[in-house]
Amino acid sequence: MNYETVIEGGKHWSLSLTAGTTLRLVDEQGGANVGMLFYNPRNPLERYNAPDTLKCQHTFKLTRGHCLYSDMGRIFCSIVADDVGWHDTVGGNANRELVAARWGELAYQDVRNDWTQNGHDAFLVEGGKYGLGLRDLAANVNWFSKIAISDDGSMHFDPTNSGPGRAVELRFEMDTLVLLHTCPHPLNPAASYPRRPVRITIGRAAPVGVDDFCRNFRPENGRGFENTELYRAAGAAEA
Amino acid sequence: MRHFSPREPAAARYRKIVPAGDYWFETIARGEYLRIVDVEGNQAADTLFFSAADTAERYSAIDTLREQGNLYLSTGSKLRSTSSQVLAEIVADTVGRHDTIGGACSSESNTVRYAIEKRTMHACRDSYLLAVTTHERFGLTKRDLGHNINFFMNVPVTPDGGLTFEDGLSGPGQYVELRAEMDLLVLISNCPQLNNPCNAYNPTPLEVLVWQSDVQ
């Protein structure tokens, strides 16, 4: 199948994707942010683990070749294409108080769907659709956003990181529940509430070969694929 | 920032040695001080905090980092919950930098990081799971095990976005001390990792001390 849609800035959505599906995100205007969390729909206690993802691949940024790991040593998805070069998974979310303090709050009563939503509440709403709540939140990915770190540890948002038409493509290696929002990155210093649309395309991936770029990107990823393939082959016993 | 504590161990209301591979899971009251001592040096104290009154309010690394705008924890760092409330503040630190993005080791992540055959080696997240299932009265399960603090670990980021696990800045007798800003449940796994050079492949004991509040 191929399916395409545009999610406006400041919104949220969720979808369940099967292994072998691709998800392509395009930053239509530049400056987009897509917050994303991943869960195993068969057992949502298995969820995206940013610390494991970073330390398994000795990286702070996410880009092509990197795999997004669950807490069970398996790979939800691989980054098979990326012309941005740096995506964040440490900056987290804005919450309602942060949005109100930095950009001012626009209430639904006054502006209808132009209200200033935040990533924290967006994940609670989308997660709630599957029985997930505050206890199930984890460090999320922020696609298209870059946080640079100075020697002293200070965190700096880079407003030039992405641009119009830049894209990142994920290939799902196991069945995955995806929660997403297009709310602003919490460290974005923009003067007004950033509202950037994202084009989403869902397609089918070619089978993963032994010479696959992501599988071979690091020796750890070969073992991550091995764990994931064991689960896909024998995992019915765990259901 | 390195800062020494005025509190004397002899005045502590509680002292306990926590061996490597074991956990410490206790309550401390608002205003009390908790010190964790790296007794022999370069040990990792994988630590989680929960509001005792509402355990859904648990330590959140991303909320803590976002609010302080800095990747490293030290004196003055306010440790925040998933709803951004302040659970505790670091009031003394003889090391100067602690990690909260490296997470806790697990038997599953060991298979990825080191070798598939490492899957049966002891790991922090096994200690966490034994702690929460043994203490059912606290009402915690696996879903409550968020991203922890690694006291005494040094995980710097390179300018091009790499992550390195440096030899610890800590050493024998170094400590970090926190003041509870609400009644807390504290869960520490004294890391049993045998595959990482950061502890010289030699996990060692921690000591935990608690002082009563100095506010009447």
Confirm whether A14 is domain-assigned: yes
Q: Which amino acid is at B52?
A: A
Confirm whether A186 is domain-assigned: yes
Alpha carbon of B135: minimum distance to chain A alpha carbons (Å): 18
Q: What is the pLDDT of residue B199?
A: 80
Alpha carbon of A26: minimum distance to chain B alpha carbons (Å): 22
Look at A58 and B159 and tell me if their CB atoms are within 8 Å.
no
Pick B61's closest partner by Cβ from A69, A139, A149: A139
Q: Which amino acid is at B95?
A: V
Q: What is the pLDDT of residue B200?
A: 81
Residues 6+ apart with CB under 8 A from B59: B47, B48, B49, B50, B79, B80, B81, B87, B146, B147, B148, B149
Look at B63 and A152 and tell me if their CB atoms are within 8 Å.
no
Beta strand A75-82 with A67-69 is antiparallel
Look at A134 and B97 and tell me if their CB atoms are within 8 Å.
no
Q: Which two structure tokens, joined as six digits, stand for B79?
A: 């440790």
Q: What is the pLDDT of residue B216?
A: 65
Confirm whether B2 is domain-assigned: no
Q: What is the pLDDT of residue A235?
A: 61
Spatial separation of the C-alpha atoms in residues A183 and B112, rounded to whole Å? 33
List, in sequence order, every beta strand (DSSP E) within chain A.
3-7, 12-17, 21-27, 34-39, 67-69, 75-82, 141-143, 147-149, 155-157, 166-172, 176-181, 198-204
Torsion over CA of A41, A62, A58 and B123, rounded to 10 degrees? -20
CB-CB neighbors (< 8 A) of A49 in chain B: 103, 109, 147
Look at B109 and A69 and tell me if their CB atoms are within 8 Å.
yes
Instruction: For A90, name the nearest residue in chain B, comparing CA atoms only.
Output: B62
Confirm whether A228 is domain-assigned: no
Pick A56's closest partner by Cβ from B60, B71, B112: B112
Residue B180: helix, strand or coil by DSSP?
strand
Confirm whether A125 is domain-assigned: yes
Q: What is the pLDDT of residue B169?
A: 86
Look at B62 and A95 and tell me if their CB atoms are within 8 Å.
no
Probe site for chain B from A47, A59, A90, A97 (most B CB atoms < 10 A):
A90
- CA distances (Å), A100 to each of A104, A105, B118, in order? 4, 5, 48
Residues 6+ apart with CB under 8 A from A134: A124, B56, B82, B83
Question: Which residues on neighbouring strands pair with residue A155, listed in sequence order?
Answer: A149
Confirm whether B1 is domain-assigned: no
Spatial separation of the C-alpha atoms in residues B77 and B95, rounded to whole Å? 14
Alpha carbon of A37: minimum distance to chain B alpha carbons (Å): 14
Q: What is the pLDDT of residue A236?
A: 52
Look at B66 and A134 and tell me if their CB atoms are within 8 Å.
no
**How many helices (H) does chain B have, and how many strands (E)?**
3, 10
Instruction: For A224, name the nearest residue in chain B, comparing CA atoms only.
Output: B112
Q: What is the pLDDT of residue A177?
A: 98
Confirm whether A230 is domain-assigned: no
Q: Which two structure tokens, joined as six digits, stand for B199?
A: 């502890």
Confirm whether A224 is domain-assigned: no
With contact defined as beta carbons under 8 Å apart, do A12 and A127 qualify?
Answer: no
Question: Which residues on neighbouring strands pair with residue A14, listed in sequence order?
Answer: A179
What region, left, alpha or beta, does residue A112 occupy, with left being phi > 0 and alpha being psi -120 to 50 degrees? left
Instruction: For A222, name the nearest residue in chain B, comparing CA atoms only.
Output: B112
Look at B102 and A54 and tell me if their CB atoms are within 8 Å.
yes
- How would you write the pLDDT of chain A (239 residues) with one tens digit per residue? 699 999 999 999 999 999 999 999 999 999 999 999 999 999 999 999 999 999 999 999 999 999 999 999 999 999 999 999 999 999 999 999 999 999 999 999 999 999 999 999 999 999 999 999 999 999 999 999 999 999 999 999 999 999 999 999 999 999 999 999 999 999 999 999 999 999 999 999 999 999 999 999 999 999 999 999 999 997 654 44
With contact defined as beta carbons under 8 Å apart, do B63 and B148 qualify?
Answer: no
Spatial separation of the C-alpha atoms in residues A75 and A66, rounded to whole Å? 10
Number of domains in chain A: 1
CB-CB neighbors (< 8 A) of A59 in chain B: 161-163
Number of domains in chain B: 1
| Start-to-end CA span in chain A (Å) | 27
**Of B91, B158, B94, residue with least CA distance to A58:** B158
Q: What is the pLDDT of residue A234?
A: 77
- CA distances (Å), A9 to each of A169, A202, B72, in order? 19, 19, 31
Alpha carbon of B102: minimum distance to chain A alpha carbons (Å): 5
Look at A50 and B103 and tell me if their CB atoms are within 8 Å.
yes
Spatial separation of the C-alpha atoms in residues A29 and A165, rounded to whole Å? 7
Spatial separation of the C-alpha atoms in residues A84 and A105, rounded to whole Å? 30
Is the pTM value of this prediction over 0.95? yes
CB-CB neighbors (< 8 A) of A149 in chain B: 71, 157
Domain boundaries, position A86? 8-199
With contact defined as beta carbons under 8 Å apart, do B134 and B22 qualify?
Answer: no
Confirm whether A234 is domain-assigned: no
CB-CB neighbors (< 8 A) of A50 in chain B: 101, 103, 147
Angle at B60 between CA B54 and CA B62, to 5 degrees: 150
Look at B161 and A61 and tell me if their CB atoms are within 8 Å.
yes
Confirm whether A210 is domain-assigned: no
In chain B, which residues have pLDDT < 70?
A: 216
Tell me which DSSP letter residue B72 carries: S
Look at A154 and B101 and tell me if their CB atoms are within 8 Å.
no
Question: Which residues on neighbouring strands pair with residue B180, listed in sequence order?
Answer: B88
Instruction: For A225, name the nearest residue in chain B, comparing CA atoms only.
Output: B112
Look at A60 and B157 and tell me if their CB atoms are within 8 Å.
yes
Residue A42: helix, strand or coil by DSSP?
coil
Spatial separation of the C-alpha atoms in residues A94 and A108, rounded to whole Å? 18
Spatial separation of the C-alpha atoms in residues B37 and B206, rounded to whole Å? 6
